[in-house]
């Protein structure tokens, strides 16, 4: 039986093509933990659950404005509007709103 947060991890991997490493980096969890989420052996809680929910929300928005295969590349690149910080690192530090504003700009223009 899949838990809600385990489902979110699988959802991110499916629609946003994020790797285990990407999800670990964005949530602050280690890769072994993320693999356990994907197998539904464990469910994220606390800060991990919060970061995973934020990551999921952002990925869902990103696939609307760029090719889904490009999402992991964009998430690892320094972004000038983020002071050259990388989106996965911004999420990991709990700065969801900062990244959300950048994505809102992409949504307004309709493309990357």
Q: How confident is the model at residue 5 (pLDDT cuts 50, 70, 90)?
A: confident
Output the pTM of the full model.
0.90
Q: For residue range 37-52, list pLDDT tens digits in order.
A: 999 899 999 999 999 9
pLDDT at 1: 42
DSSP 50-109: HHHHHHHHHHHHHTTTS-GGGHHHHHHS-BGGGTTB-HHHHHHTT-HHHHHHHHHHHHHH
Q: For residue range 52-91, list pLDDT tens digits in order.
A: 999 999 999 999 999 999 999 999 999 999 999 999 999 9
pLDDT at 3: 58
**What is the rounded distance in angstroms from the CA atom of residue 100 to the CA atom of residue 30?**
24
């Amino acid at each position: 039986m899949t838990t809600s947060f385990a489902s979110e991890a699988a959802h991110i991997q499916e629609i946003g093509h994020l790797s285990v490493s990407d999800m670990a980096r964005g949530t602050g969890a280690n890769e072994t933990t993320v693999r356990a989420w994907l197998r539904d052996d464990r469910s994220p809680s606390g800060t991990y659950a919060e970061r995973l929910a934020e990551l999921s929300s952002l990925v869902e928005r990103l696939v609307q404005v760029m090719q889904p295969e490009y999402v992991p590349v964009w998430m690892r690149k320094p972004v000038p509007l983020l002071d050259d910080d990388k989106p996965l690192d911004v999420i990991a530090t709990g700065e969801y709103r900062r990244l959300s504003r950048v994505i809102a700009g992409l949504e307004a223009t309709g493309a990357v």
